[in-house]
Amino acid sequence: MDYLEPNFDPFPVLKSERLILRRIVEEDVYQIFRMRSDLDVMKYVGKDPAKSLEDAMDLVHKTSESLENKSGISWAITLKEEPDQLIGIIGIWRLIREHFRGELGYSLLPEYWRKGIAGEALAEVLEYGFEKIGLHSVEAHIHPNNKASAALLERIGFTREGWFKECFYFNGVFEDTVVYSLLTRK
């Protein structure tokens, strides 16, 4: 095999002790808007906060498109007792198929921060990425000031690989990016 050939049909629903990770659907648009318009959530994302439901719906459609063309996969993070209520998004949003590598992204509504939810969701997504997709490595690009994300990644075994100076342009400013990665556990 010269590159990854993921099969996302049927969509893989992932379950952990407290969470169900399911497909993002149009009915999630209100919660996505709530999350993507929150300045604290968007502080380190490098994108403008959502200004309308249309902005949030664009994200829903992008996740469906990446799934269809097999360039990435994202899940709605939900609590088991409320599987219809999105509390965050997590995914291997970009697959670098020829290198068996994926790029990770995640965000949660602030009321769910510091409860172990991101780590629990990450464990499921990483297992799926390595075991089912066949990834050799996963990377995460974060803002250097995002201490919570850095601590989470380091806690679950990621290694800081590099600090890229002024490699990201956003709102008229060149920003640094820190790259973390995790190799397959095989």
Report in angstroms the alpha-carbon separations of 72 from 21, 64, 109, 174: 15, 9, 22, 27
**135/138 Cα distance (integer angstroms):** 7
**92/182 Cα distance (integer angstroms):** 13
Q: Mean of the pLDDT values across residues 96-114?
A: 97
At 5, which amino acid appears?
E
| pLDDT tens readout for residues 115-153 | 999 999 999 999 999 999 999 999 999 999 999 999 999
| pLDDT tens readout for residues 162-182 | 999 999 999 999 999 999 999
Write down the pLDDT at residue 2. 87
Task: Assess contact for 160 and 180: CB atoms under 8 A.
Answer: yes
| Banded pLDDT at 26 (limits 50, 70, 90) | very high
Write down the pLDDT at residue 186. 65
Q: Mean of the pLDDT values across residues 52-74?
A: 97
Q: Beta-carbon neighbour count of residue 170 at 10 Å?
A: 12
**2/176 Cα distance (integer angstroms):** 33
In the chain, what is the straight-line distance between the N-terminal and C-terminal CA atoms, in Å? 18
State yes or no: pLDDT of 185 exceeds 90. no
Q: For the chain, give the mean pLDDT.
A: 96
For the whole model, what pTM was predicted?
A: 0.95
State yes or no: pLDDT of 111 exceeds 90. yes
Write down the pLDDT at residue 172. 93
